[in-house]
Amino acid sequence: MQYIDLEQWPRYQHFKLFKDFDFPHFNLSANVDITRYLAMVKKQNYSFTLAMVHLLTHAANLRTDFRLRIEGEKVVEYDAVHPSITMQTGGDLFSYCRLEYSDQLNRFIADSNTRVDTVKANPTVTFSSRLDLLYITSIPWVSFTSLKHPAHRNPQDSIPRLAFGKYFRTGDQVMMPLSVQVHHGLMDGIHVGQYYQTVQELLDQDG
């Protein structure tokens, strides 16, 4: 973890511009091609949700901008960020479950299954005070085209919010909607576009 020298930071003026907005976040939604990744997940008998959470978190950890957070008047860069997911825990209700990132998919899924079982036994909607998180939610009932997340105004909430929806077939491809919401003081559309490119590159890799 390290603090950014704001006076030397190339986007300091952009940060100052957006940090005091009532709603300084923006959201992009687009489809990604999960054809190859889905085949691998099914072959390995992994949970699709946990496998996708891992890939999205891995993509975020490959990028500096998705590891930046606002801490008071400072900006901090974390060495790694970890997913905090929503999960159904009974009826129509959900709970939060904080997972621990590992660059090894099988290790991540094994550890996450244990954490998920713990939350199922003790549901909670308590927010963590940690900033080194990614908020990730799955909406498997809808192939959405847009989505907006709630976010705190005070203190500044700069944790990226990711959502993936119901995948669908179009010809020989399997597509999935992916929504990315970020703080505009920390990044712009070009950076989110680059994140989508990183995600797609990971999805296209073999096993």
Looking at 25, 152, 184, 191, which residue is catalytic? Answer: 184
Sign of CA dihedral 55, 189, 149, 10: positive
Q: How far apart are CA 50 and CA 138, in angstroms?
A: 10
Q: pLDDT at position 148, please?
A: 82
Sign of CA dihedral 48, 49, 53, 56: positive
Q: pLDDT at position 56, please?
A: 99
Name all domains of the chain by residue range, CATH numbers in brackets.
2-203 (3.30.559.10)
Residue matched to tokens 């996708």:
52
Cα–Cα separations (whole angstroms), residue 163 to 3, 52, 111: 28, 10, 21
Q: pLDDT at position 71, please?
A: 94
Residue 200, SS3 per DSSP: helix
Is 184 a known active-site residue? yes
Low-confidence ranges of the chain (pLDDT < 70): 153-155, 206-207
Mean pLDDT of the chain: 93
Q: pLDDT at position 150, please?
A: 75
pLDDT digits over 128-155, tens only? 789 999 999 999 999 989 888 777 766 6
Q: pLDDT at position 155, please?
A: 64
pTM score, two decimals? Answer: 0.94
Q: pLDDT at position 120, please?
A: 83
One-letter amino acid of 165: G
Left, alpha or beta for 91 (phi > 0: left; psi -120 to 50: alpha)? left
Q: How far apart are CA 136 and CA 87, in angstroms?
A: 10
Q: pLDDT at position 181, please?
A: 97
Q: How many residues does the chain have?
A: 207
Work out the number of other CB atoms within 10 angstroms of the CB of residue 123: 15
Residue 24 tokens, joined: 């300084």
Q: pLDDT at position 42, please?
A: 96
Residue matched to tokens 């900006």:
75
Contact 86, 99 (CB under 8 A): no
Backbone angles phi, psi at 148, to 5 degrees: -135, 130
